Amino acid sequence: MIKYLKHNEIDKQKWDKCIRESFNGNVYGWSWYLDIVHQNWEALVENDYERVFPLTGNSRFGIHYLFQPFFAQQLGIFSRTILSAEIIGTFVEAIPKHFKHIQIRLNTHNRTDTIPYESFTHINHELDLIHSYERLQKKYSSNTKRNLKKAEEAKLNIVPNIRPEDIVEMFRKNRGRTISHWNDREYNRLIKLVYAGIYRSQAKLYGAYTPENQLCGGAIFVKSHGKLVFLFSGATDFGRETHALNLILDHVIREYSSGPLVLDFEGSDNPNLARFYKGFGSKETTYPGIYINRLPMLIRFSMKIIRLRKKL
């Protein structure tokens, strides 16, 4: 039996036990992670937390909707036992009907072929680090190798355990200037999330410094369920010119090589980023997203007109 639970009804100890034991668990599913990325998340829970499905919703103008929160690439149904397409469909149909607009991403092990709603395939890239560094490095693309040589010629130095504030501030002063939909709330949430991960020994941070000891690149990783997720990064103009992020990723691959981790690049649907990740020998994986529109026809029409105007 699938139950819909409000936030204060969720038993987080049982929830985290399910996430810990799920064959498809990931870092985004932990209750502490959800508490930060979406404070009042709700859930669908089967029986005694055998399977769980976080619902990240909100309301605007009296309309309830589900959306994908920042810093949580894959959510969906997590399960201790095998998942079939029929089970996924049952959970999706159990989403309360008061959610009129749903645009969310599930996880790699959530099949959507039996769901009678619009679905999308998103791209991810992963690199199994079980092999030696020498073997992994041989699969780098020629472009990645050239960029690493430039970083080495610039004499960049990789330093672990730097402050998340430094990476976030560097991002905001550079690429962040072109991202209008992020504000203080999103950046502060990220910093809080990283410190929570550090407290649980699930976050790793690295910085690339110039010979003059200036930070020019930084990256944040979170670890769970056998994966090291490349969560966030930033670079200065000089860092981009000298390929600081290439050097950081190479450093991480070297550090964790010959071990039981998979480096999850967390993307990307963007072809340029996908090419960058493939340059490290990563393999393409996919995960689904679903779209359900239960809004009244007049509101649907209005939304369509707004989208068309934005394209003009």
- Helix H, strand E, coil C: the string for the chain is CEEEECHHHCCHHHHHHHHHHCCCCCHHHCHHHHHHHCCCCEEEEECCCCEEEEECEEEECCEEEEECCCCCCCCCCEECCCCCHHHHHHHHHCCCCCEEEEEEECCCCCCCCCCCCEEEEEEEEEEECCCCHHHHHHCCCHHHHHHHHHHHHCCCEEEECCCHHHHHHHHHHCHHHHCCCCCHHHHHHHHHHHHHHHHCCCEEEEEEECCCCCEEEEEEEEEECCEEEEEEEEECHHHHHCCHHHHHHHHHHHHHCCCCCEEECCCCCCHHHHHHHHCCCCEEEEEEEEEEECCCHHHHHHHHHHHHHHHC
pLDDT at position 298, please? 63
Residue-range definition of the domain harbouring residue 99 = 2-123+287-311
If one counts the domains in the chain, the total is 2
Amino acid, single-letter form, for residue 151: A
Question: Is position 225 within any domain?
Answer: yes
| Predicted local distance difference test score (pLDDT) of residue 302 | 56
Query: Of 15, 26, 34, 25, nearest to 81 (Cα)?
Result: 25
| Residues 186 and 105 both lie in one domain | no
Structure tokens at 243: 């390929």
222 falls within a domain? yes
List, run by run, the mean pLDDT of 10-residue segments along the chain (312 residues). Answer: 97 98 98 97 98 96 94 98 93 97 97 91 97 98 98 97 97 87 91 98 98 97 98 97 98 98 94 95 96 80 53 44
Structural domain contains residue 275: no
Q: Residue 63 corresponds to which tokens in the numbers above? A: 């309309």
Assess if residue 267 is contained within a domain: no
Residue 276 confidence (pLDDT): 96
Query: What's the predicted TM-score (pTM) here?
Result: 0.93
pLDDT of residue 299: 65
The answer on 106 and 16 residing in a single domain is: yes
Q: Are residues 69 and 169 in the same domain?
A: no
pLDDT at 304: 58
- Tell me the CATH number at 202: 3.40.630.30
Same domain, 46 and 91: yes
